[in-house]
Amino acid sequence: MGEWVDVLLVRHGESEANAQGRFASRRWDPHLTAIGRRQAEKLVAQLEGVPIRHLVSSPLARARETLEPLARARGLPVTILADLSEVDLGEWDGRHFRELYQLEPFEAWRRDPERFPPPGGESILAVGRRVLAALGAFCDAHPAGWVVAATHADCLKAAVLTLLDADGPAARRLWAPNLGQLWLRYRSGQWGIHLGPLCPAALAHP
C-alpha cells in the first residue's frame, strides 16, 4: 500500500483581519500583522528536525506569508493549492463581528455551520471534503516525506469533522488558534489523525 505521508496543517499567523475583529474569506485578502510575522518565524524553530519535503499553501496572503520564513530556511518552494482556501463566507466577507452578532442567520451559523452556511457561502463539511481531496491528490503525486500545509481555522476544523463523520455543531467544540496545528497521515486514499507529539523523537513510523 505504500508509505504513510505525514501532513501538518497549520493555521496562518495573526492577520490584519484577526486584529480588527473582521471576517476575511476571499474577496478581502489581508496580510499578517507584526505579531503574525513573528509567529511565522517561530514556526521555523518549532519544526526544526522535522524532515519536510514539501510546502503547500492556500492562495491567500496570510497563509502564504506564514510559510515564507520556513521556505527560506529549508530552501523549498511553496506550492499553491486553491482548495486550501478559507471557507467561503459569502455576504459576510470583510464584515466586523460586531455587525453580525445580533443577526439570526449568524447565530444559526454559529450553532450549526453545516445546516446554516453563510448567505451565499459554504457549509463546513464542504470545506472539509475539498481540503482533504486537495491534500490527498498532492500526496498521491508526492508519496514521500512530510508535507506542511498553511491554511485557515475552519479548514482545520472541517478536516477533523469530515474524518470523524461528525455533525456541524461539533465545529463549535473545536478551536484552532493562530499557528494551531493538526497532524494527519495519508496513504492510498486513507486518512488518519495522529495524536502524538510533533518532535524528532516521535517521527519514526511504527
Catalytic (active-site) positions: 12, 86
Question: From CA 132, how far away is CA 145, in angstroms rounded?
Answer: 18
Strand order in the sheet with 146-151: 78-80, 52-57, 146-151, 5-11, 181-187, 190-193
61 CB-contact burial (10 Å; exposed 0-12 / middle 13-18 / buried 19+): middle
Instruction: Count CB neighbours of 111 within 10 A.
Output: 13
56, 76 contact by CB (below 8 A): no
The secondary structure of 25-70 as a DSSP string is SSSS-PPB-HHHHHHHHHHHHHTTT--EEEEEE-SSHHHHHHHHHH
Residue type at 79 in one-letter notation? T
How is residue 96 written as a grid cell? 466586523
How is residue 73 written as a grid cell? 530556511
189 CB-contact burial (10 Å; exposed 0-12 / middle 13-18 / buried 19+): exposed
